[in-house]
Amino acid sequence: MKNLIASLIRLFERTPYWLVALLGRFAIAAVFWKSGRTKVDGWNIFTVNDKTAFLFQEEYKVPLLPPELSALMAQIAEHVLPVLLILGLATRFSALGLLAMTAVIQFFVYPNAYALHASWAAILLMLIKFGPGMVSLDHWLSRR
């Protein structure tokens, strides 16, 4: 049993970081992209639709910013930042932006969903700390 555990640990340790980072980038990008797609009609990410405006005015009530501005900022970020993550371009800054959104969602919108938001935060913090890995535009650009 001890040899089996040791063998599994060696296998896990050989898993390349780029694969873990790529999976993390795609997973978290999908979450925010899908959320962003619910906020717009068509592909105009600069116009808040009625449903989104209603949610930000009546349900989400994010403090400090007018609901129209919060909705617009969220839908733009949920379209732009996931694309940057998938490309691995400005990865750390994109992850930081999504981590800030996650914090706002956790503290002001859905405070009871802490387990879900903690899993998002873990992926985003990994990307902020260790970067996107070698399968990314950031890596390619850093080699030029």
Mean pLDDT of 64-80: 95
Whole-angstrom Cα distance, residue 127 to residue 24? 8
Q: Which two tokens stand for residue 122?
A: 């873990």
Tens digits of per-residue pLDDT, 19-59?
Answer: 999 999 999 999 999 999 999 998 999 999 999 999 999 99
Q: Mean pLDDT, the chain, as a whole number? A: 96
- Residue owning tokens 């403090």: 63
Please check the confidence at residue 64 and state whether its pLDDT lies above 90: no
What DSSP character marks residue 58?
Answer: I
Q: Domains of the chain: which residue ranges? A: 17-142
Mean pLDDT of 77-97: 99
Per-residue pLDDT at 95 = 99
